[in-house]
Amino acid sequence: MPPKILSGVRIVVVEDHDDVRSVLAQYLRQQGARVIACSNAYEALEAVVQERPDLVLSDISLPDEDGFQLLQNVRSLGPEMGSNTPVIAMSARGATITNHRALAAGFCSYLGKPFTPQQLLHAIQEALRLQN
């Protein structure tokens, strides 16, 4: 059996829709990742501090704070607490959230929903490659 592509990678998934969060988490776990699934920005920031993930995959539209605010909060933590953690944005609001805007804000990449499993894996691998 070939090694799983995300073996040993810790990922915080931030998505307020239960079904989408569940599908993403299940898929990433099948690829070997250790997933911490969060339904809002507050839980996600706590997970970044406690778990020190390799990557955060965050929806832009969240119930408490949006993904842009979450990114700012992560960046303000300090390096020892996870401020350098790569964060990938995802959104179904392609008309209002563009790739350019997400990258300018500091996200390492942007995935417009819907996206394919291959697009997701490529974005994660690229973010992790750039981090090393």
pLDDT in tens, the chain (132 residues): 567 899 999 999 999 999 999 999 999 999 999 999 999 999 999 999 999 999 999 999 999 999 999 999 999 999 999 999 999 999 987 656 678 889 999 999 999 999 999 999 999 999 999 876
As a whole number of angstroms, the distance between CA 96 and CA 42 comes to 23
10-131, what's its fold? Answer: Rossmann fold (3.40.50)
pLDDT, tens digit, for every residue of 96-125?
A: 667 888 999 999 999 999 999 999 999 999
Residue 91, strand partner residues: 112
Could you state, in order of their start, the residue ranges of all structural domains in the chain?
A: 10-131
